[in-house]
Amino acid sequence: MIISASRRSDIPAFFSEWFLRRIREGYALVRNPMNPRQISRVLLTPDVTDCIVFWTKNPIPLIPRLKELADYQYYFQFTLTPYGRDIEKNIPDKRERIVPAFRELAERIGPERVIWRYDPIIVTKRYTVERHLEAFEEIAGLLKGCTEKCVFSFVDEYRKNSKALQDLGAEELGESVMRDMAVKLRDIAGACGMKTATCSEKIDLDALGIDHNACIDKELVERICGGKIPDLKKYRKDQGQRQECKCMSSKDIGAANTCSNGCLYCYATDSAERVKRSMAAYDPASPILCDSVAEGEVITDAPDMKKWIQTDGQLSMFDLTDEG
């Protein structure tokens, strides 16, 4: 079982204490974002958790406490872009704090376990294609030796970020512009020892040597864990994600409208006011993030909570039964 922590919020930045309490207590409660009356108990114990995938723009609060995860395997999806506070309102100073944090994290856990995300790419009059390429080259140079892969994507417009993107004057890029930009990003990253891949992009760049990425990555999980995940269909593709997404199945323990990074392009945030209300409800001791369970609400165990990694290369009888 893979734990995602979290596509919906920046748990390392804002909720490290909550997360580590959940680790100590061995479970978290998660409200279904599509059906809020449905609450699941997700086990977090080492006997059923193969790997934890962290998503963050600021891991600084968690880095000193990584020793508390000694019984777990994990890696980080670490977003680092050139945007200022006009787009990413509450990120600490990137040159002074975030880049050093990236480097420290890579030194502690290894560059293969820190994935650099340069996404989403938003082109405006201020953040032109040329400026992106210059910034990307600068950041890649600063991160050389600290990561093996850079994942990038071009911004997608959703209901929740549509107005913000329009206010920014975000340009709609043609396929030729995206291809040209992708090639240049690939070459810059390659010069710094990094492979490139895209995240949930409809455009096919395989012929350019740029893969469709799996952020919840079967191959990386196997590499980190030192075993194999059975090649069963339900483990390969997360059905809850977009068609272009290549992620394998995971259980996300976060909650929408709980991230205070203030990124205008965010699709997991309705409004700053919603985030403010959620943060006011934050209790590190609660089993559910920025929330509580009301009297009479029913909690059920999440399905398929078991180890997937096979260290002997053999499928168990139970795996064969599940597939049948």
pLDDT per residue over 26-43, tens digit each?
999 999 988 888 999 999
For CA atoms 84, 13, 294, 48, give the dihedral sign. Answer: positive
Residue 201 half-sphere exposure toward CB, CA atoms < 13 A: 24
Q: Is the pLDDT of residue 171 over 70?
A: yes
Q: Is the pLDDT of residue 158 over 90?
A: no
SS3 47: coil
In the chain, DSSP assigns E strands to: 2-5, 27-32, 35-43, 51-56, 74-79, 114-121, 149-154, 195-198, 211-212, 251-252, 299-301
pLDDT band at 113 (very low <50, low <70, confident <90, very high): very high
What is the distance between the alpha carbons of residues 146 and 75, in angstroms, rounded to a whole number? 13
What is the distance between the alpha carbons of residues 238 and 223, in angstroms, rounded to a whole number? 20
What are 77's two structure tokens? 């999806």
- For the ranges 160-174, 249-263, 300-314, the maximum mean pLDDT occurs at 249-263
Q: At what angle do helices 129-142 and 99-109 cross, to 10 degrees?
A: 40
What is the distance between the alpha carbons of residues 166 and 218, in angstroms, rounded to a whole number? 36
Q: What is the pLDDT of residue 206?
A: 85
CA-derived radius of gyration, the chain: 20
Phi, psi of 114 (to 5 degrees): -130, 105
For CA atoms 260, 252, 256, 266, give the dihedral sign. Answer: positive
Query: Which of these ranges, 138-152, 222-236, 281-295, has the smallest mean pLDDT?
Result: 222-236
Region 57-72: what's the mean pLDDT? 98
In sequence order, which residues have a C-beta less than 8 Å from that of residue 203 and are 6 or more positions away?
154, 175, 178, 179
Long-range own/partner contacts, residues 275-280 (CB < 8 A, 24 or more apart): 279/14
pLDDT per residue over 257-315, tens digit each?
999 999 999 988 888 999 999 999 999 999 999 999 999 899 999 998 999 998 864 44
What is the distance between the alpha carbons of residues 217 and 223, in angstroms, rounded to a whole number? 10
Question: Exposure string (b/e) for 131-144, b if CB count within 10 Å is 16 or more?
Answer: ebeeebbebbebbe
Q: What is the pLDDT of residue 311?
A: 80
Q: Is the pLDDT of residue 317 over 50?
A: no
| Residue 226: DSSP 8-state | T
What is the distance between the alpha carbons of residues 217 and 246, in angstroms, rounded to a whole number? 8
